[in-house]
Amino acid sequence: MLTFYMMIFLTMFFMGGLGFIFNRKHLLSMLLSLEYMVLSLFCLMVMYLLFFGYQLFFNMMFLTFSVCEGALGLSILVSLIRTHGNDYFQSFNILQC
């Protein structure tokens, strides 16, 4: 049963990766697919650590870092929208930011 759940979470991770690759037009959709990948990794880690009987302290650290990563991504998104007016990748040059 554990391998079934691991396969589901790995499939979720790869679907998030495919969403990240194919939705390169908007920054918000890329950030959402990255958060989906982080959520699937978190669920996979919880299942793995519960199966082997480890403590879940590492999951709290992972969750803290993923929240910080999400807040940083949203702050970058807000600053890009304020300076450029939209979140299209084609409307701004990376070297000018």
Q: 28 falls in which pLDDT band (50, 70, 90)?
A: confident
pLDDT band at 3 (very low <50, low <70, confident <90, very high): confident
Question: What is the domain class of 2-96 according to CATH?
Answer: mainly alpha
pLDDT at position 92 is 61
- Residue range 4-31: average pLDDT? 90
pTM for the model stands at 0.83
Domain boundaries along the sequence of the chain: 2-96
Q: What is the pLDDT of residues 70-92, one digit of tens each?
A: 999 999 889 888 887 887 766 66
Whether 95 has a pLDDT exceeding 80, the answer reads no
Residues 6+ apart with CB under 8 A from 3: none
Residue corresponding to tokens 């959402």 = 32
